[in-house]
Amino acid sequence: MKIGNLKLENPYILAPMAGVTDLPFRLLCKEQGAGLLCMEMISAKALQYKNKNTKVLLAIHPQEYPVSLQLFGSDPKIISEQAKRIEDLPFQILDINMGCPVPKVVKNGEGSALMKNPKLVFEIVSQLVKAIEKPVTVKIRKGFDDDHINAVEMAKIVEANGAAAVAVHGRTREQYYSGKADWQIIRRVKEAVKIPVIGNGDIFTPQDAKRMIEETGCDAIMAARGARGNPWLFRDIIDYLEKGILHEKPSLKEMTDMMLRHAEMHIRYKGEYQGIREMRKHVAWYTAGYYGSARMRQAVNEVESYEALKQLLADWLAYSEGGIKTYEKPIDHNEKYSIDQGVK
């Protein structure tokens, strides 16, 4: 699959998730075979004002190529100028966020609010494509709400203005992440445009990936919440779709080893104080569905050092040696997560 002049090794993509897809997590997903890694979304205005908090979001490592850097904003001039200013950074694709549903973003006319403004989308994409040489992609939703389902219209607009690909999340802004993603809107977009279409929404298993490709004809799939605490998802998708191999869930030992590696990377990247605190949510995602996970989620919130985390995981491993069990309640993949971090 090609996006502009960039050929991907495979069409299985890690979605941009603020507070999740930082450098350490992207590297882990790359190790598991992800064909494209999307960075956390970055405010074009924050770049303009040289907000110090954006510096860490711009970190890119050669081992993770190819990488997609995602900007959000609503001013075509600011977006295109800032994209041009950072174009020398080693990302391979520049993506525009038109799907974020968070109120503070939507209130500013950014993210999924752009789904209500086709004329502004026209200006943003046309000016951006003219400003930089790297491929430009756009991530959209089904529509803003059930009365405004316009993903097909938006996809045609971004294609006409030079976008190299479009990613479609099969939910409206009003849905957030509730209910089921409408994969038929992805199929309709695929039938309406010639640029690559990336399907997004409810990819939690290799079987989901296979069904989405079969039902929509999309050129690539993008995994988001299904990859939280599960970087193995990309290995699982590749082996299932290309070799017919269906892996079992990682063992408890594999899980704890991965969490410790993730924590070590976080600490090297952000320091122990911030790194350990950010690992708390990752530990909750990693352990979801395993025996003792409810107790683990409570305990990890008290952890303040790598050594304390290492001991906690060792205790949990010993406690949970019986294997994977269903815990007190089913895993809720529709649980909302805060993406306020990094949005200024």
- Residues identified as active-site: 100
The DSSP symbol for 291 reads: T
79 contacts 85 by C-beta, under 8 angstroms: no
34 contacts 234 by C-beta, under 8 angstroms: yes
The DSSP symbol for 288 reads: T
The end-to-end CA distance of the chain, in Å, is: 34
Beta-strand ranges (E) seen in the chain are 2-3, 6-7, 12-14, 36-38, 42-43, 67-72, 93-97, 136-143, 165-172, 197-200, 220-223
Strand partners, 95: 70, 137
Q: How many CB atoms lie within 10 A of CB 291?
A: 19
Gap between the Cα atoms of 293 and 296, Å rounded: 5
Q: How many CB atoms lie within 10 A of CB 71?
A: 25
| DSSP labels, 136-189 | EEEEEEEESSTT-B-HHHHHHHHHHTT-SEEEEEEEETTTTT-S---HHHHHHH
Q: Which amino acid is at 225?
A: R
